A = this chain, B = another copy of it.
C-alpha cells in the first residue's frame, strides 16, 4: 500500500511531523500501560459467564452423563456422548466423528502433528519424521501460534497470500504439487487477524484439489460461533464437503469453548473422518485414560443455563461490538479506510488486521511501545515472523476496557501518522 503523506509538500511534511512528534512526546510522558497484544476475552465477558453461575452449576449430586457415566471417575476417552453429539451437530458430522478433550485446541493440533511425525496420517506414506523435508502451507497474515507450533516441530513454513475470500487458491494449488507439502493451516471463519470468511468456492477448491497422499489441513474453526453482525456469512461445513469431494480424510476440524466459557478452562474438540478419528483414538488410548468429564458436564449445564449457544454468544457479542466499533470508527475518522491503512470491517472473531503502507508496521509498533501501548510484534502474523512488506499489524481490541481501548487507539492513530510522516520525510529509522 501507498503512503499518502508522500504526496505532501516537503514544507507540509516538516510542519506536520513537528506537531506529530510533539504529540507522541506528550503521550510518552503519560506513562501509559496498555496491552492490545493477545486475543483474550475481557473481564466483563468472563464475569458474564460467572454470572450465569458457571462454577456452581453442578450440584453435589450432579455427576452423571445421560448414559449413566459417573463423570468423576476414569473413562470416556473420546469425551461424553452428549458433548460429542452437541459438537457434531454444530459441525454437521455424526457424534462418532468428534473427540472432545481438555482445555486446549492448540494442544490437540500439536498432538496431531506429533502423531503425523511419529506414524503418519492414514492414507499417507508413513511417518513424516522419516522425510527429508516436510512443509506446511501458512495463509498469511495468519495465527502466529500455528506457525510457531509447526516450526517447533521442524516443519518448513510456506506463506500463502490471503485474499478477501480466503487463501489464494491458485497459489495453494500450485504449492501443493510439491510432495513435501503435507500440511496446511486454516482459520476459515473470521481468520486471525483479518477476519476473512473462506468462501464456498475456496472451500470446495481446498476439498477437491489434488494433493500428496496424507496431505491434511488443520481447520481451526476457533471463531465459528463468534459473530459480531446479525446475519453472518458462514463458511460451509468442511467435513461433509470433503467427504462429497472424495477426500474425507483431508481435514481435521478444531473448535473450543475458550471464547465461549472461560479462556483458560474451556473444552476443545477435534472432528474428522471416521478413519482419522479411529487413528487419533488409537494413539490417545496410550496417552490418557480420558478427559476432564466434569468440565464437559459443567459446559452442558452452562449452555442450558444460557438458553443455548447462540444466546450465550449474543451476550458475548453485546460486550464485544462496542470495542470493534470504536476501534474501526476511530481509525476511519482519523485515517480513512484505504489510505495509509486499510482493514476489513470487523464481522466476527477476535482481531482486526491492519494493512499499513509498506515499511511502517515495525515502526508503528515501536512507537506505540515507546508510549506504553503494547501491540503484537510486527511480523508475528507471518511465518518466521517475516512480513515481506512490513505492513501488517494485528489489533486485539477485546480485552481492554472501552476507555483503555479509546486511549490506545488514539496513540495508535497518532503513531501511524508520525511514522508515515517520518517515512515521507525520509527519516524513518
Contacts and interface: CB of A to CB of B under 8 A. Distances in A.
A264 B290 contact: yes
A128 to B, nearest CB: 11
Contacts of A62: 55
Q: In the assembly, how many copies of this chain are there? A: 2
Contacts of A118: 114, 117, 129, 153-154
The 10 closest A-B pairs by CB, nearest first: A72-B262, A152-B286, A265-B294, A104-B288, A55-B58, A110-B287, A46-B72, A107-B288, A265-B292, A103-B292
Interface stretch (A35-43, A176-184, A309-317, A406-414): A35-43
Contact of A264 (B41, B72, B145, B283): B72
Contacts of A103: 102, 288, 291-292
Contact of A55 (B60, B104, B106, B117): B60
A263 B102 contact: no
Contact of A286 (B74, B148, B258, B286): B148
A70 interface: yes
A59 interface: yes
Contacts of A148: 286
Contact of A40 (B55, B74, B129, B264): B74
Given A53-B60, A104-B288, A264 B71 contact: yes
Given A149-B287, A152-B283, 20 more contacts: A41-B73, A46-B63, A46-B72, A49-B72, A55-B294, A56-B56, A56-B59, A71-B265, A72-B264, A104-B290, A107-B287, A107-B288, A111-B287, A114-B114, A118-B154, A149-B286, A152-B286, A264-B291, A264-B294, A265-B294
Interface of A: 38, 40-41, 43, 46, 49-51, 53, 55-56, 58-63, 70-76, 102-104, 106-107, 110-111, 114, 117-118, 129, 145, 148-149, 152-154, 258, 262-265, 283, 286-295
A90 to B, nearest CB: 22
Nearest to A153: B118
Nearest to A117: B118
B292 A264 contact: yes
A288 to B, nearest CB: 4
